[in-house]
Amino acid sequence: MNKLKTFGFGLLISLFLTISSNADSIKIGTEGAYPPWNNTDASGKLVGFEIELGNELCKIMKQECTFVPQDWDGMIPALLMRKFDVIMAGMSITPERQETITFSQGYATEPATLAVMKGSSLENIDTPDAVNLNRSGSDVKKTLKTITESLAGKTVCTQTGTIHQNFLESGDVGKVNVRTYKTQDEVNLDLTSGRCDVALAAKASFVEFAEASGKAVVTVGPNLAGGAFGDGVGVGIRQGGDDTIGKRDAKLLKDFNKAIDKARKDGTISKLAIKWFGDDVSM
């Protein structure tokens, strides 16, 4: 009988340690379809800038982490439903999203840009190389006017639920005929097939697609940042609360901020950014 009690007690301890271990492990939600931020290779393995960065941050935090694939349009709802603990999915920090979740400090930023097929009438759109929409001035207004005139009557394709869709629907470039898609791959496909006149996304997404596919996709117009495009990309985390889970979420925010600080200072973020983007887009 004593042996049975001892066995039972040992089993309970084992179960408790297993549950505690699972509670301490961090699940990271990512799309796996937005290169070079995150993507899925031919073998089904998750790869990309954020996959490597997430693993490095977890090493710094001395935590076991796993990535959980999730469709983009269900990313924040899945976080709130606790399917995973945090988001690393090329998600820009915007006031709209901050009403629902919180973010770590930004770890990278990358300009958005328009893209067309080579030979398009929009290929030679005359604008500055870059525009920060957080700044007011005649150059910004002139650029937005040029984009507005260029997109008039055109079908502009972009991924749903993104800062790019927000920009197109913000009124900054007038009333635009926007067509949305679940993934960036679908945007690229319809751009090359002619179902889109022009597309809007992160610049690196178009560059990588053109290089990988050999398609004659070219970026046009200015590099766009600020305004509807947010304040860089960060780790999305549930807003902390007073209960046990809420306190864990608040701790995750602190831990990720500390890890990002360390990864920035030791050059990890810059190194990975150059590897995946071909340029240092770290913040």
Average pLDDT of the residues of the chain: 90
Segment 245-256, tens digit of pLDDT: 789 999 999 999
Residue 2 has pLDDT above 70, yes or no: no
| pTM, rounded to two decimals | 0.80
Residue 241 has pLDDT above 80, yes or no: no
Residues forming beta bridges with residue 159, ordered by sequence position: 181
Residue 83: the pLDDT is 98
Is the Cβ–Cβ distance between 247 and 257 less than 8 Å? no
| Distance (Å, whole) CA 104 – CA 237 | 8
Residue 21: the pLDDT is 38
Which of 280, 279, 276, 283 lies closest to 50, judged by CA? 276
Task: Report the relative pairing of strands 236-237 and 86-87 from DSSP bridges.
Answer: antiparallel
Residue 15 has pLDDT above 50, yes or no: no
Is the Cβ–Cβ distance between 252 and 85 less than 8 Å? yes
**Residue 212 CB: number of other CB atoms within 10 A?**
10
Q: Which two tokens stand for residue 61?
A: 């935090």
| Dihedral pair phi/psi, residue 176, rounded to 5° | -115, 140
Segment 109-162, tens digit of pLDDT: 989 999 999 999 999 899 998 888 888 778 899 999 999 999 999 999 999 999
Q: How confident is the model at residue 9 (pLDDT cuts 50, 70, 90)?
A: very low
Give the number of C-alpha atoms closer than 13 A to the C-alpha of residue 153, restricted to the C-beta side. 4
Judged by DSSP in three states, 244 sits in helix
